[in-house]
Amino acid sequence: MKKLFKKPTLKGVLHIAALLICGAVLGLNIYSANAGKLVGNQLPMPFGYGAAVVLSGSMEPELSVGDLILVREADVYAVDDVVVFQEGSSLVVHRITDIADGRVTTKGDANNAADEPIELSAVKGRVVLSVPYVGTLVELIKTPVGTLCVAALAIALVEIPRRNEKKKDDEERQKIIDEINRLKEQV
């Protein structure tokens, strides 16, 4: 009986994983761009999580420019939590220094003065993870050129193996034709 599916190879699994990553990056870029431009939300939080890149040194030494941060929504915040809030069209990553009457006062660790108090509802979430330097790559990928590069990589990951397989099939087909011609000449 003929098998319907081939056993997956490591190369095939890596190929699919790379395509999934490229697709996720492109999808997130489109989602983020739409959320930011159409709705004004600079930090979309699907499933209660969001990611942002640190763009200033106001939280040095804990967070540096170019760090990628993972932000999680929370029901309750406390003094000393590092949080993200939107101020106009910008995101701010600062530490909570005071909470009173539904308002939060924040301050960057490297800043001399506290920020103006904001409504607690303006806080997007608490920073739960930071990955140094990765944010620089994320910011590059979010540019139009970076997005095109990811799209080109995804296309290459699909097209190059397909062409290699076609070339291999063509070579095998040619060998069969050559063998048929050789046998015809012997008759």
* Residues noted as catalytic: 56
Within 10 Å of residue 45's Cβ, how many Cβ atoms?
A: 16
Q: Please say whether the dihedral angle defined by the alpha carbons of residues 71, 81, 55 and 41, taken in this order, is positive or negative.
A: positive
Q: Which two tokens stand for residue 90?
A: 């910008």
- CA proximity to 81, closest of 44, 106, 100: 106
Run of H or E residues at 98:
strand 90-100
Residues sharing a CB contact under 8 Å with residue 8, sequence separation 6 or more, in sequence order: none
